Chains A and B, each alone.
Chain A
């Protein structure tokens, strides 16, 4: 069966460090993968999209990698700040609709 797993439900790091979140999937062949941020009681906000033929994408302090052989995407936040604390969701897109992982809640401590 198809499955999306995001590493650890919660991740705590110190301000200034790099946060690395993992999204692993099985039995999918996604055309592209997206990362979203969700704050408590709010809808998700789009961050980055990476296509299957792209290995890496960057946007300011964010970096996403996509390894279709390993079936894994890594999401990095460099120079993390307390304001980066939120739940981060990965989403796989196959036939025109998205399937979301359960998310990883990141807490950046000052």
Chain B
């Protein structure tokens, strides 16, 4: 159980394009989802916390107008990288925690999206 699906798994696009990444919890409801960014040989950097039905909470230094997050249902959160540039190229990973559990619970991760901006 507790499967998180992330789509697409990889995308290559031209500079200036907007890219949408979906994160779905397949067999559970997730009040909270997290979006991370990971560079090679580095750890996961939390970008934002996405709560169903409310605005996302962004970490310091993350541009909310650049990385749009929508959490419209208990099973889906989306991250849109707007007007992407080569420096936005990275591995983006989402995670979800079970509804009703906010602390003391593991995160269930998707398999990530490899974004390459040419």
On A, residues with C-beta under 8 Å from B are 9, 31-32, 34, 36, 41-46, 49, 51, 89, 93, 96-103
Distance (whole angstroms) from the CB of B57 to the closest CB of chain A = 9
Q: A43-B95, A44-B109 are known contacts; what are 5 more A-B pairs with Cβ within 8 Å?
A: A34-B107, A43-B111, A46-B106, A46-B107, A100-B44
Q: A31-B103, A31-B104, A43-B112 are in contact. Are A89 and B44 (CB under 8 A)?
A: yes
Q: Is B112 in contact with A42, judged by CB distance below 8 angstroms?
A: yes
Question: Which residues on B sit within 8 Å (CB–CB) of A42?
Answer: 111-112
B75 at the interface (CB under 8 A from A): no
29 A-B pairs whose Cβ atoms sit less than 8 Å apart in the complex: A31-B104, A34-B107, A36-B109, A41-B111, A41-B114, A43-B4, A43-B93, A43-B95, A43-B109, A43-B110, A44-B44, A44-B95, A44-B107, A44-B109, A46-B106, A49-B104, A49-B105, A51-B104, A89-B43, A89-B44, A96-B102, A97-B34, A97-B46, A98-B107, A99-B46, A100-B43, A102-B42, A102-B43, A103-B43
Question: Which residues on A sit within 8 Å (CB–CB) of B77?
Answer: none
Q: Is B43 in contact with A43, judged by CB distance below 8 angstroms?
A: no
